[in-house]
A and B are shown apart, each in its own frame.
Chain A
Amino acid sequence: MLNLNKLELTFNNYNLEKNVHLYRQGGLNIAYDVNSGSLHLLDDKTYSFLTELSELQKEDPALLKNSEKLLNTAGSNLRADEKKEIIQELAELQKANILFSCEAEEVNPDYPERPLIKAMCLHIAHDCNLRCRYCFAETGSFGGSRGLMDLETGKKAIDFLLQNSGDRPSCEVDFFGGEPLMNFSVIRELVIYGRQKAEELGKKIKYTLTTNAVLLNDTVAEYLEQEGISVVLSLDGRPEINDKMRPFANGKGSYDRIIDNILKFIAKRPNTSRYAIGKYYYVRGTYTHYNPDFYKEVLHLADLGINRISLEPVVAPLEQSYALQPEDLAKINQSYDILAEKVLEYAHKGNEFTFFHFNAGLDDGPCLPKRLSGCGAGHEYVAISPEGDIYPCHQFVGQEKYKLGSLDDSPLVLPEDMVQAFRQANIYAKEDCRICWARFSCGGGCHAANVAYSGELTKVYPFGCEIQKKRLEIAYYLKIKEAQRIKKIC
């Protein structure tokens, strides 16, 4: 038996499964230390040893409190000197607090009494020139009547944002729809108005626009370029896939109409940030039950020279024919695995592209308070309907239960109970999140997806969690591959 006191490795009341994620990806054995955000590569023997420790803790909860017995039980297949070496290395990393690091104290983010709004999704048009079958906006109308936001409502919305942004120097406005370019004249007026009002207060507004690119002609493209507006362009991938889900009202597919607009536009932004910082573009699509092999869509886009790509799982009730089903998960995971290797292969060939959900901030990522506050919907981020109604985010628009008020209310104060409900719906309020290794990376999942699935803000959407965890595993894997590549060059 080893003298474990000398080795100084201890796991008393330390839940390994919760705090260290062990997995294999691309032939590598990876350990992600949840509380420090550190990444380690393990040899096969260490990987097996750690996996065994974690399994033993699960099988016999008494071992959670008996570190010495746990360490002596595991690793029976190792030679004594090997086991000692491994434990010594593990102990050094524990001492440095980068493996088996101390659990972060469960402290809720410190919010001001009144909510500080810093970002707004402006539903400039509840109308659309496409009839996308999966549209959560119900093809643009969000369950209401079709209509465009008028200039006065838009101005009130910007006033509301600036007046409620406290001392934040920078605010964000996203022109969203429906299809926002159907109301381009109002967008132009609001950009001028917002800039002027922000300047008067010593602030800045960062604008983004989400468009299906149907109306993205040369004039509009030049305008967006000149004004430094970031753009998210919707496109699902190969023509037959895109056209099946994204037709015009007459049923004709949209691919041929938009592809040249998109390619011409992105050519203006060759150095766009992979982390969506500054003036950027991303081409964003949706995958459904019809294409769990969606890696083909991503590669189609990459082969066209599009190098900032985001493809997301559809959000839809299970009874819809295009909704993702539990049996799709294996194929979805396989797609992500293939995509991981393709990202590396394309980079090696000099055709680098970024898949948005393979981005990961670890040592350079968000602080813990930000990770806990998640997307900020309902207290830092709101959406405004064309009529001036206020909702927690774009996905809640039209859901009366979640309406936060109207820009015409006087006084205009967001309801305290709703603000608190969204503030408190963080990972510590969600039973499944508190013990999950991905808890500091996903923000506890999307509120709207959680509500759609469970009816509650604090109960997660498990299928979404599985996809999120897979994307994170690959994001960390690619971090390691990148580090190895740099080391090789140096």
Chain B
Amino acid sequence: MAKHIQTIIKGNLSETVKTGGCGQFQTSCLSASKTSCTVGNQVCEK
């Protein structure tokens, strides 16, 4: 077990360039925002 660093979430975001882009994601600004663009605070429904 690592002594100095604890990994909480392992992501692979840059890899999703190849696997993502299905286009089914909901529109960011239509929900509870309306005045700011925040794509990172949604979850993928795929």
Task: Write the residues of chain A forming the contact surface with B, with a CB cutoff of 8 angstroms.
Answer: 31, 33, 35-43, 45-46, 85-86, 89-90, 92-93, 96-99, 101-105, 107, 109-110, 116, 118-119, 121, 136, 168-170, 172, 174, 206, 208, 210, 230, 232, 275-277, 280, 282, 284, 286, 308, 310, 312-313, 315, 356-371, 373-377, 380-381, 393-395, 440-449, 464, 468, 471-472, 475, 479-480, 483
The listed residue (A98, A277, A315, A444) touching B7 by CB distance below 8 A is: A98
Task: Write the residues of chain B forming the contact surface with A, with a CB cutoff of 8 angstroms.
Answer: 2-14, 16-17, 19-45
Bound-state Cα–Cα, A116 to B44, Å: 20
Bound-state Cα–Cα, A360 to B13, Å: 14
The listed residue (A93, A282, A359) touching B41 by CB distance below 8 A is: A359
Chain A's nearest CB lies how many Å from the CB of B45?
6
Residue contact A361 to B41, C-beta cutoff 8 Å: yes
With contacts defined as CB atoms under 8 Å apart, how many contacts are there between chain A and chain B in the complex? 238
Residue contact A38 to B33, C-beta cutoff 8 Å: no
Residue contact A104 to B14, C-beta cutoff 8 Å: yes
Bound-state Cα–Cα, A269 to B20, Å: 32
**Chain A, residue nearest B40 (CB):** A441
Residue contact B4 to A42, C-beta cutoff 8 Å: yes
Residue contact A368 to B24, C-beta cutoff 8 Å: no
Residue contact B23 to A479, C-beta cutoff 8 Å: no
Residue contact A375 to B23, C-beta cutoff 8 Å: no
Residue contact B30 to A363, C-beta cutoff 8 Å: no
> Which of A102, A174, A444 has the most chain B CB within a 10 Å cutoff?
A174
User: A45-B4, A102-B14, A444-B37 in contact; A366/B9 too (CB < 8 A)?
Assistant: no
**Which residues of B have CB within 8 Å of A118?**
23, 27
The listed residue (A375, A380, A381, A483) touching B8 by CB distance below 8 A is: A483
